[in-house]
């Protein structure tokens, strides 16, 4: 049993205060991505009790000249923020491009082929 499961849920006011503190910290550290998301979360926690989560997120996205994708991002960040007290990590640009050299069998085959060649037999040939 996880002791965090018994922790009381935070109210919208408490979450807004926590998001405001995080916003001030991100402004101080000049972390602009986090600053924009925390500012959106502060607005989200102000509007959510009146309009509900979905409509509040759409309202915030429209005020920032953004679309429904940003509204979904606000909702997902809010759920993560409520569970963990911080923003979800940004994975943009972190995809690893694994080519043929990433395949272990190919690496082993190339090494075997190069070991069978005599010295000076391998050379680089132009493709044109």
What pLDDT is recorded for position 80? 92
pLDDT above 60 (res 67): yes
Are the C-beta atoms of residues 53 and 78 closer than 8 Å to each other? yes
The model's confidence at residue 126, banded by pLDDT at 50, 70 and 90, is: low
Highest mean pLDDT among 5-19, 57-71, 84-98, 113-127: 57-71
Contacts 24+ apart (CB under 8 A), 37-41: 37/73, 37/74, 37/77, 37/87, 38/87, 40/64, 40/70, 40/74, 40/77, 41/15, 41/74, 41/77, 41/78, 41/81
Provide the terminal-to-terminal Cα distance of the chain, rounded to the nearest Å: 66
What pLDDT is recorded for position 115? 83
Q: How far is Cα 55 from Cα 75, in angstroms, rounded to an integer? A: 10
Which residue, among 128, 47, 42, 33, has the nearest Cα to 88 in the 3D structure?
33
Residue predicted with more confidence, 1 or 127? 127
Are the C-beta atoms of residues 44 and 56 closer than 8 Å to each other? yes
pTM for the model stands at 0.63
pLDDT above 70 (res 98): no
Are the C-beta atoms of residues 71 and 58 closer than 8 Å to each other? yes
């Amino acid at each position: 049993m996880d002791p965090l499961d018994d922790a009381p849920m935070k109210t919208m006011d408490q979450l807004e205060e926590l998001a405001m503190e995080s916003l001030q910290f991100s402004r101080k550290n000049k972390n602009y991505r986090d600053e924009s998301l925390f500012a959106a979360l502060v607005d989200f926690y102000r509007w959510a009790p009146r309009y509900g989560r979905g409509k509040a997120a759409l309202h915030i996205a429209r005020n920032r000249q953004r679309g429904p994708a940003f509204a979904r991002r606000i909702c997902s960040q809010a759920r993560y923020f409520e569970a963990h007290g911080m923003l979800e990590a940004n994975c943009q640009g972190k995809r690893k491009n694994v080519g043929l050299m990433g395949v272990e069998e190919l690496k082993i085959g190339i090494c075997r082929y190069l070991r069978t060649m005599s010295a000076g037999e391998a050379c680089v040939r132009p493709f044109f």
